[in-house]
Structure 1
Amino acid sequence: MKRWRILAGLITLAAVAGLWVIFSPEPVDGMKEVTVGEEETIAHIFGDGLQFMEQDTEKHEWVAARDVVYSYEVYAGNEHIGEVSITDRTLRNGDELHFSSFENKGDDTHTVTIEYPLSGEMELTSFDDIGSAIEHKHDSTVGVDPTTIPVGYGTLADGSSVWLGQRYTSTVLTKTYESGKTSVVRELDEETNPYEVEDERLRQTLEASGDQLAESWLMRSGDPLFSSIEKATAWAEDMAVDYRWAKKWLTPAGVYQKVPWSIEPGTKMGYGRVIGTLPHQDALSRYEATGERFFESISLNAVTTIEAYRAEKETELWKTEYTSTWVKKAYGIHAPYTDTRHNEKLALFLMNAADGLGIESLQSESVKYADYLVAQADDGNTISFGDDAFLVGDYDGPGKEEVPHASLNHALGESDYLLKAYERTGDEKYLNLAYSIRQAIEMIGTEWIREEGEHEDDVWYQVNEDHTFEGNDYQLLTLVDLYKNQKAWAETEYGVSDVYNTLIESKSSYLERTGLDVEKAVNERISP
């Protein structure tokens, strides 16, 4: 009997073992370390207890750069817990940007390490003290933006150099509408320095908890990105002062910046790719003025991110990917929608980049927005003030229930841009549309001017479809737009506008009563 019991026990163990073999997960045939690169090594990727399985390598040819995207599935034991990728962007001047990301889809916190080889020992100029010296005040629209500036600037004995971005850890939030369209924002969890320099290696760590996305970036050149450490530091100081709009959280298809609280999905730490700040006009202007290599490279990268963003969205124009609850409540419009002022800024940057960077093909790209405005006029997304006198609605997109308002600054920006498009192409339809917008502004005339209260002599922000006015205007933006428009119209057969002069005088009078040196302020805002 005892012998039979032993035999039965052995049979049971064998059966259990057999079932374990049948139903246990297959061991992952991955690598504990992978080497990234084609002709030469870009980086090594590894992580404690992690394995990596290579995915298809994607390649993209842009007008100002070439991208190679290396992607890997990440496993902890036999569990698939996420993906890691490095986008190697080679700019047309030979400089490179490396964008890294680790998306953790598991439950536990994991750390992926990316090690970049260096051509020698690197001397790092840290920007920590610069970034922490500026107080980040509460803003009534976006709250507090805690993001600072890049980590620092590294130089090597052979003349090569590296510009190091921070690590940004975030959670992706989405909301899907009945139209099937989706609004997307990032909720920032942390900004931190991910780097350690060890001998001739630059080590970057991407740590993320479950459902978090960790990202970082760096720029490297075989030459000095700045002609001196002092000039690199001066740029970092300018970024620290202008921290709200400085471009620091860079990704292959856009830069993330703090967005208003009035967004869907709602979060007070929301960041998004703002269409009007995908360009980098400041860097382009500085490149044209100084010739510094960094500004050339960051401008080329801005051109590339603009192209990559549109390719990602598969659209002709650049559409805002997060919903403004203010726009949605007023007109029903939700993401992805078109914001005329943001697209105007982007299109003007492409015009300037075509000249400043010598990329002729950007000329045709820069008038896509002009064609859109013509189509908006043809489609009737306008507020009419008589024959051939109308303003284009500020927004257009899914869910629209009525024609949106037209703000004075948007209208002026559109007409100024259209005149530039006409100057470059000679296409009369751009001039005609610009003049229709001007005629509408002139038909409204002095009704733009507020007559009483603390804003007496200021101008209204917007006119609605029923021709009522509302909203407090920007302090300087609209005044600068009026000056730019007058200068542009003076070069045409129509000449300057008497109504524009009246609005300039009234707005200036209002600002002077607030103690502002109007002439100085306007001159500082108008590019030569």
Structure 2
Amino acid sequence: MVRKISVLLLLLTAIAVCTFLPDPASVFASAAAPPWQKPVEKETTGKGNGATYKKREFAFGDGDVYWSQQIIGTKTAKPYVITVPVQGNSQHMVFRYRAYNEAKQPVWQAVTLDQVKTLPLASGFLETEGRSIWLGKPIVYVAKGRGTIEEHAELALPIQVKQRTNGIVLEIRLPIKAGYRSEMWALESREPLVPWGEQSIDQIWLALDVTQNAKWLYDGYYYKSPSTYEPTSANAYWRIPENYVLRSFLYTGGSRAARNMGYVMLKTSLLQQEPEGYWKTLPRSLWLSEDYGIPDGFYDTRFNTGAADLMLRGCVQYAEEAFCQSAQTYADYFHRHAASHHYVVNGTQPGWLVADYASAKYPAKKTHVSLNHQLAEINFLYSSYLQFGDPADKTLADLMLAGVVNLGTRWLLPNGDLHYAYFPNGTFGRADYPYLTYNDLLETQRLYRLLHGTEEPTIARLTASKLAWMQKSNVAYR
């Protein structure tokens, strides 16, 4: 089932947030990152030589530049070539890239450019005096529809290193083949993009995947497609609303690369937000279709609330009105969703449990309520209230928290773990995540304490029980 496969996705989110020791106030505190200036954006398109060409650029105020190019083949032709000249002594030019050891763990490897004719086929950082470039990995793929691509790694060409008297030229060759798309992106700076060696930065960046299980592409962030999605294949990736790498950039920061790419990724996510305020999961989920009759293009509350939380974060960090408006538009959409897709749980005061999924095609469908979804939504609404001051956000968050609290110890399993979900027939079931829900509970308690001046006792009990189970089960957490 996709829920089980999604464990990996959501655990990566938890790892990204909890491993990096984030300090929200110091995201842009690195000495390498000057005060933020909104970049100038430009997109150009063209046709010729058997392909359609698209290029997007962000020119930042400090001279940094991000660019991304996409080639859509209409017939087979010679590769499209992008040249990147780099001045200096090639003996002092290093390409640092993310590789894997025999245990399939990510490690850093490096080559000097006077020793190679091609770069390893991987994303990495070219570093020399007065120049730093974060190079994406060239990719060739087929668009399968429903926000899904199928990578054809056998067609990708490595970047060539051409020696010149005053330095080198990187020659990036993007294949032009009918029915295929080729892409490449890079972030260039006159200053170091990442302060290697600072605050365990090497390990932080090792965890950021934009080439293996995830792909950063022209139109967004893609993740490995589960077998229960349609379309899918062994090399398929789907465009996921919540960008886990972006989460690390916004909550960890500390580098020019994080600051600049965070902005680029948020702007790209804006393009995928529906006018109503949410981000569609475009593939068809077999289990949602079988269990609830929900077709492709559905609304997933966890991925969407995660995406909106990133917009809220971007609103604060970049003072970007478009990001602020995006977060508020989503909040409005969630209010409407909650009003029409909830279960009333009575107690000292009535509470709501809000359904995890919905479809605009079949709006009457109601699904189960996962505890982690419910908590993430509460946390977003409280955060939105703290940022924008709309009392409706706090009111709904309190109502949803009452839904959790009114069920009280019914969330607990005999072994101390928590039930994953509450179902439309009033039953509980499925195995909870190892520690994702624990992190959500901690954040709910933090926000509740901030707003109400005291702890919520039921949340405290659920948190303590989950922690005890984690410790007894030797679940690693941070």
TMscore range, shorter length: 0.7 to 0.9
Q: Structure 1, unaligned stretches of length 5 or more? A: 1-62, 76-80, 138-147, 175-182
Secondary structure of residue in 2 paired with 1:442? helix
* Aligned ranges 1:171-250 → 2 under 5 Å: 171-174=142-145, 183-190=146-153, 192=156, 194-198=158-162, 199=164, 200-227=168-195, 238-241=204-207, 243=209, 249-250=215-216
1:282 & 1:241 partners in 2: Cα distance?
9
| Structure 1 residue identity aligned to 2:248 | D
Partner of 1:167: 138
1:362 & 1:134 partners in 2: Cα distance?
42
Partner of 1:73: 47
CA contact (8 A) 2:359 2:365 kept: no
Partner of 2:249: 283
Q: In structure 2, which of residues 75, 86, 95 is the aligned counterpart of residue 126 of structure 1?
A: 95
Shift in Å, 1:514: 1.1
Shift in Å, 1:271: 0.5
1:165 & 1:201 partners in 2: Cα distance?
16
Q: Between Structure 1 and Structure 2, how many residues are aligned?
A: 419
1:354 & 1:464 partners in 2: Cα distance?
35
* Aligned ranges 1:77-96 → 2 under 5 Å: 81-91=50-60, 93-96=62-65
- Percent of residue pairs bearing the same amino acid type: 21
CA contact (8 A) 1:170 1:189 kept: yes
Shift in Å, 1:247: 8.9
Shift in Å, 1:296: 1.5
Gap change, CA 1:410 and 1:93, over 3 Å in 2: farther
Shift in Å, 1:74: 3.0
Secondary structure of residue in 2 paired with 1:169? strand
* Aligned ranges 1:263-412 → 2 under 5 Å: 263-277=229-243, 280-287=246-253, 290=254, 292-310=255-273, 316-359=277-320, 362-378=323-339, 380-386=340-346, 388-400=350-362, 402-412=365-375
Shift in Å, 1:476: 0.5
Q: Does 1:260 align with 2:223?
A: no
Partner of 1:58: none
Is the deviation greater in 265-274 or in 434-443?
265-274
Gap change, CA 1:212 and 1:445, over 3 Å in 2: same
| Structure 2 residue identity aligned to 1:385 | V
Partner of 2:124: 152
1:84 & 1:419 partners in 2: Cα distance?
44
Shift in Å, 1:235: 5.4
2:304 & 2:386 partners in 1: Cα distance?
19
Shift in Å, 1:133: 2.4
Partner of 1:467: 426
TM-score (norm 2): 0.79
1:259 & 1:133 partners in 2: Cα distance?
24
1:242 & 1:270 partners in 2: Cα distance?
19
Is the deviation greater in 323-332 or in 114-123?
114-123
Partner of 1:21: none
CA contact (8 A) 2:70 2:183 kept: yes
Shift in Å, 1:103: 1.7
* Aligned ranges 1:444-523 → 2 under 5 Å: 444-451=407-414, 456-493=415-452, 495-516=454-475, 521=477
1:177-205 CA distance string (max 9 Å, x none): xxxxxx23111111756312323532110
2:212 & 2:246 partners in 1: Cα distance?
9
CA contact (8 A) 2:121 2:159 kept: no
CA contact (8 A) 2:131 2:191 kept: yes
CA contact (8 A) 2:69 2:218 kept: no
Gap change, CA 1:394 and 1:225, over 3 Å in 2: same
1:454-479 CA distance string (max 9 Å, x none): xx321111111121112110010111
Secondary structure of residue in 1 paired with 2:152? strand
| Structure 2 residue identity aligned to 1:151 | S
TM-score (norm 1): 0.72
Structure with larger Rg: 1
| Structure 2 residue identity aligned to 1:282 | S
Secondary structure of residue in 2 paired with 1:297? helix
Greater relative CO, 1 or 2 (CA 8 Å, sep 6+): 2
1:269-300 CA distance string (max 9 Å, x none): 2212211116612123333xx3x222211222
1:494 & 1:438 partners in 2: Cα distance?
16
Gap change, CA 1:333 and 1:208, over 3 Å in 2: farther
1:207-245 CA distance string (max 9 Å, x none): 2543221111111123332345x569x756544455489
| CA-based RMSD | 3.0
